[in-house]
Chain A
Amino acid sequence: MKLDSKIPAGPVADKWSNHKAKMRLVNPANRRKYHVIVVGSGLAGSAAAASFAEMGYEVSCFCYQDSPRRAHSIAAQGGINAAKNYQNDGDSVRRLFLDTIKGGDYRAREANVYRLAQVSTSIIDQCVAQGVPFAREYGGLLANRSFGGAQVSRTFYARGQTGQQLLLGAYSALSRQIGAGTVKMYTRHEMLDLVLVGGQAKGIVTRDLVTGEIKAWASDVVVLCTGGYGNVFYLSTNAQGCNVTATYRAHRRGAGFANPCYTQIHPTCIPVHGEDQSKLTLMSESLRNDGRVWVPKDKADCTKPASEIPEERRDYFLERKYPSYGNLAPRDIASRAAKEVCDEGRGVGQMVDGKRLGVYLDFSAAIKRLGEPAIRERYGNLFDMYENITGENAYRQPMRIFPAVHYTMGGLWVDYNLQSNIPGLFVGGEANFSDHGANRLGASALMQGLADGYFVLPYTVTDYLAGVGLTGRPSVDAPEFKAVVKEVQDRTQWFLNNKGNRSARSYHKALGKIVWEKCGMARDKAGLEGAIRDLQALRADFWKNILVVGSGDQLAPELERAGRVADFLDFGIMMCLDALHRDESCGGHFRTEYQDAGEAQRNDDKYAHVAVWAWQGDGQLPVRHTEPLVYEDVQFTTRSYK
């Protein structure tokens, strides 16, 4: 596998402007002759599709939801970072760049991150012009808040619905182009394969989820903005439909998959309450500003109501272990500490699968100090949401929280131009691996999605198209397309014909349990090896006993689910393999063998590289390649929270 990062020469601050100046252009009159396919309509996909259409390209955009406005970017709560320095508190492009590199535990690509910080300011301009109702000060200027442990206030927000408002902004830009006829929007269409002609990405194969029609689409370039793979864990904060199929299918066609073991686990989610749970809900991290995290010191107290456990029998474990950071310890640290006490049998709440997986987040001290109205003013909506889901009043009794998967830093490998190792296949947003390294900072996901979609892909895809020229687009009647359509049809038909005895959801749950236990917050060699064996057995069982009800010519949720779970099973094996072969701890990847009393121990000599996996065939283990991470500008340091 050839992995050329194509990082432009020169000082890191000048790379993007130098590169832009050198990139080729396409004559406006010729642009409409190129067909661009964008898969996914979240922040990256909508922004890219709208921008391509504004430039004059013929664009087709696909999403599995019933409207592009449903994409899961909509659920992001906190905010979006930008180096505007409106607060005059010392922020700058360079500081945002350094924070992001450090937050990613020195496993992100320097040049990409610098560009992200550079274009961050244009994103805010663009969104405000679209009418995104960001929070404002009384003087009419934009408001900011601090977020995710940054020392500056650089986060722009729209109440607790920043993702929603940014997505609706991008959706409005996309809608304008759909209305103008420059983007053809295909909703309820799922991409089921990528088509290569002469080694270049030249189209996709989709299934119309309403009619069941399997169809090929030819294009000059394919842009995947299909999100992350958090749902490999079954329970996550992702939407139900989020899946790895588009990127995994591209991987099977030769695209390298980078750092699949980098997953982020958010400490403050509502705990699992039962076997039939389908989804975990995130509670804003801001709650830790006033809540104290604890569990009983004694296992015997775990079944008692919190009010019956006296102060001296409580273990405020974050305050005990990290006295200087206390309850505000960073996400990965706080998550692992909660897992540890629950593994010791000191968790609270309902017993699920023989374990109590929850810790208290207690506001009683803050209520005593500040009064209930002050707490209601700060967190009222979150307390309401908690009560709605759990039926418990957090003013009277402590909340119960537990960590949950909510973002994946790994993704398809891309070069500086966001092009994968398959020419003509570009990848944006959470679906690529490029900017967050081993851990993502709060309020950076929205920034990256929009940066890729509005300000990077329009340039780099144009450069690619100019190089390919106008002779490039094949017909969908070409044998390459027919072969892939046949493969997709056969696979679909196989699912419908295989009258097994077990539902896709039950396989998904079993898969989730294995990877959560062995490749979740803490990982070790023996556990990962066991997980790979278990997953291979589960995979074999799946291909024998899967049962798909419904018919192929109508809305068939079970058919959709079976295809996605099949890819998640293969992907899960690759994720465990990646975790097994990264013999160090960094960011969200914590190998228990490599720690210094709970602190992640990086190994920069051996692992300062991107791990990129190449597909080897059905049922075969993928092969690991590497792209060295060369830091020209920053120095490695150790993150410390004590």
Chain B
Amino acid sequence: MVKEHDNLDSHGEQTLSLRLRVWRQSRGTTGHFEDHALAAVPTSASFLEMMDMLNEQLIKEGKDTFAFDHDCREGICGMCSMTINGMPHGPLPGVTTCQLHMRNFRDGEMITVEPWRAKAFPVIKDLAVNRSAFDKVIQAGGFITVRTGSATEANNTLIPKPVADEAMDAAECIGCGACVASCKNGSAMLFVGAKINHLNILPQGQPERERRTLAMVKTMDDAGFGNCTNYGECQAHCPKSITLDVIAKLNRDYLRARVKEFFSSTGKPRKGGD
């Protein structure tokens, strides 16, 4: 954090003048950077509020705004997705773009803003990308099959506190995709590992453990995500501080599922009705 703000706004608050280099891309085009100057940005503003200011300035000039994804603006919905100065969600560890504030930038600084860059996340417009590949992975097996109304009494399932806590650590993933955007391979293994770890360690998740793991990994591969080669960038940029061990556990569960599949095979083609 640098304290060299000389500008003050009408509330006596420090403000910044910024140079912004922002990605502009329409459907069917290759895209390019556009440079804009933005003055009087309060240091208390969030990064997205700074983007709102830029967009209001563009509207005054009669120009199209920059489209970007955002919703809750409190770090939980996982919708915001900007690569700021080359870092998904910007320079602060453990926060989303919406929770990044302008006091973390310097007056006169040039800030580069790009969308998530990954093969599996095509750009829709400007800074907004299509992350439906994540939904497809969950649809393949990121659930426990339980029909509404068929659940048993909740306290019939005893879950040791450490197990529940570990499941919760993994379940905190917000599905933003920063792990993919930060990975040189465009790998989604932190995201998939988090969901596998959440469900596969709980007693409720055991009946579908192998099937879930194989289906999610296959869908992940089919969607065009790369593989993990232990760069660790995903862990460094995850706004929820999900750690690499979920990938190790994913690999373990995948191996276990493949081995079980091999030995349970009868050699006959599988019949329907699973």
* Chains A and B belong together in one complex: yes
Q: How far is the CA of A135 from the CA of B69 in the complex (A)?
A: 32
Within 8 A of B (CB), among A536-558: 547, 549-551, 554-558
- Decide if A50 touches B148 in the complex (CB within 8 Å): yes
**Which B residues are CB-close (under 8 A) to A161?**
76, 172
- Decide if B59 touches A140 in the complex (CB within 8 Å): no
Q: How far is the CA of A175 from the CA of B144 in the complex (A)?
A: 10
A390 at the A/B interface (Cβ < 8 Å)?
yes
Q: In the complex, which of the residues A54, A175, A277, A550 has the most CB atoms of chain B within 10 Å of its own CB atom?
A: A175
Report whether over half of chain B's contact residues are helix, strand or loop; otherwise say mixed: loop
Q: In the complex, which of the residues B12, B44, B74 has the most CB atoms of chain A within 10 Å of its own CB atom?
A: B74
A324 at the A/B interface (Cβ < 8 Å)?
no
**Which B residues are CB-close (under 8 A) to A554?**
26-27, 67, 125
B272 at the A/B interface (Cβ < 8 Å)?
no
Q: Which one of B11, B74, B148, B161 lies within 8 Å of A140 (CB-CB)?
A: B161
B77 at the A/B interface (Cβ < 8 Å)?
yes
1/0 contact string of A219-259 vs chain B (CB within 8 Å)? 00000000000000000010111000000000000000000
Q: How far is the CA of A515 from the CA of B177 in the complex (A)?
A: 38
A489 at the A/B interface (Cβ < 8 Å)?
no
A279 at the A/B interface (Cβ < 8 Å)?
yes
**Which B residues are CB-close (under 8 A) to A50?**
148
B190 at the A/B interface (Cβ < 8 Å)?
no
The stretch that binds B, out of A62-70, A471-479, A630-638, is A62-70
A168 at the A/B interface (Cβ < 8 Å)?
yes
Within 8 A of B (CB), among A251-282: 273-274, 276-279, 281-282
Q: How large is the interface on A (under 10, 10 to 19, 20 to 34, 35 or more residues)?
A: 35 or more
B249 at the A/B interface (Cβ < 8 Å)?
no
- Decide if B53 touches A391 in the complex (CB within 8 Å): no
Within 8 A of A (CB), among B89-126: 95, 99, 101, 103, 124-126
Q: How far is the CA of A3 from the CA of B126 in the complex (A)?
A: 48
Within 8 A of A (CB), among B39-55: 42-46, 48-49, 52-53, 55
1/0 contact string of A103-136 vs chain B (CB within 8 Å)? 0000000000000000000101111111101111
- Decide if A281 touches B74 in the complex (CB within 8 Å): yes
**Which A residues are CB-close (under 8 A) to B161?**
136-138, 140
Q: Which one of B53, B131, B154 lies within 8 Å of A125 (CB-CB)?
A: B154
Within 8 A of B (CB), among A73-111: 74-75, 84, 86
Q: How far is the CA of A277 from the CA of B55 in the complex (A)?
A: 14
Q: How far is the CA of A74 from the CA of B73 in the complex (A)?
A: 12
Q: How far is the CA of A391 from the CA of B103 in the complex (A)?
A: 8
- Decide if B52 touches A178 in the complex (CB within 8 Å): no
Q: How far is the CA of A124 from the CA of B156 in the complex (A)?
A: 12
**Which B residues are CB-close (under 8 A) to A273?**
13, 42, 44
Q: Which one of A274, A499, A556 lies within 8 Å of B13 (CB-CB)?
A: A274
- Decide if B171 touches A128 in the complex (CB within 8 Å): no
**Which A residues are CB-close (under 8 A) to B65?**
549-550, 557-558
Q: Which one of A165, A172, A237, A388 lies within 8 Å of B101 (CB-CB)?
A: A388
- Decide if B152 touches A67 in the complex (CB within 8 Å): no
A176 at the A/B interface (Cβ < 8 Å)?
yes
**Which A residues are CB-close (under 8 A) to B124?**
210, 555
Q: How far is the CA of A316 from the CA of B74 in the complex (A)?
A: 30
B88 at the A/B interface (Cβ < 8 Å)?
no
Q: A168-B171, A240-B73, A550-B65 are in contact. Are A505 and B56 (CB under 8 A)?
A: yes
**Which A residues are CB-close (under 8 A) to B26?**
554
- Shortest A331–chain B CB gap in Å is 19
B186 at the A/B interface (Cβ < 8 Å)?
no
B147 at the A/B interface (Cβ < 8 Å)?
yes
- Decide if A131 touches B164 in the complex (CB within 8 Å): no
B128 at the A/B interface (Cβ < 8 Å)?
yes
Q: How far is the CA of A274 from the CA of B154 in the complex (A)?
A: 47
**Which B residues are CB-close (under 8 A) to A176?**
139, 143, 145
B2 at the A/B interface (Cβ < 8 Å)?
no
Q: How far is the CA of A168 from the CA of B58 in the complex (A)?
A: 37
- Decide if A241 touches B13 in the complex (CB within 8 Å): no
Q: Which one of A185, A388, A549 lies within 8 Å of B63 (CB-CB)?
A: A549
- Decide if A172 touches B56 in the complex (CB within 8 Å): no
Q: Which residue of A lies closest to B219 (CB)?
A: A179
A483 at the A/B interface (Cβ < 8 Å)?
no
B64 at the A/B interface (Cβ < 8 Å)?
yes
A142 at the A/B interface (Cβ < 8 Å)?
yes
A454 at the A/B interface (Cβ < 8 Å)?
yes
A139 at the A/B interface (Cβ < 8 Å)?
yes
- Decide if B151 touches A129 in the complex (CB within 8 Å): yes
A29 at the A/B interface (Cβ < 8 Å)?
no
Q: Which one of B67, B78, B101 lies within 8 Å of A391 (CB-CB)?
A: B101
A72 at the A/B interface (Cβ < 8 Å)?
yes
Q: In the complex, which of the residues A142, A171, A185, A278 has the most CB atoms of chain B within 10 Å of its own CB atom?
A: A278
- Shortest A109–chain B CB gap in Å is 24
Q: Which residue of B lies closest to A351 (CB)?
A: B11
8 contacts between A and B (CB under 8 A): A72-B77, A75-B74, A129-B144, A141-B155, A350-B11, A388-B95, A389-B99, A503-B59
Interface residues in chain A, defined as those with a beta carbon under 8 Å from any beta carbon in chain B: 47, 50-51, 54, 65-72, 74-75, 84, 86, 122, 124-131, 133-142, 158-159, 161, 164-165, 168, 171-173, 175-176, 178-179, 185, 187, 210, 237, 239-241, 273-274, 276-279, 281-282, 350-352, 388-391, 454-455, 458, 499, 503, 505-506, 547, 549-551, 554-558
Interface residues in chain B, defined as those with a beta carbon under 8 Å from any beta carbon in chain A: 9, 11-13, 26-27, 42-46, 48-49, 52-53, 55-56, 58-60, 62-65, 67, 69-74, 76-79, 95, 99, 101, 103, 124-126, 128, 130-132, 134-135, 138-155, 157-161, 164-165, 167-168, 171-172, 174-175, 198-199, 202, 204-205
Q: A127-B154, A178-B135, A274-B9 are in contact. List 19 more A-B contacts (CB 8 A).
A: A47-B148, A66-B128, A74-B77, A125-B153, A129-B151, A131-B202, A131-B204, A161-B76, A171-B138, A187-B132, A210-B27, A239-B77, A240-B70, A351-B12, A391-B44, A455-B148, A455-B149, A547-B62, A549-B63
7 pairs of A and B residues whose beta carbons are closest in the complex: A140-B158, A179-B139, A129-B151, A172-B143, A555-B125, A133-B168, A125-B151
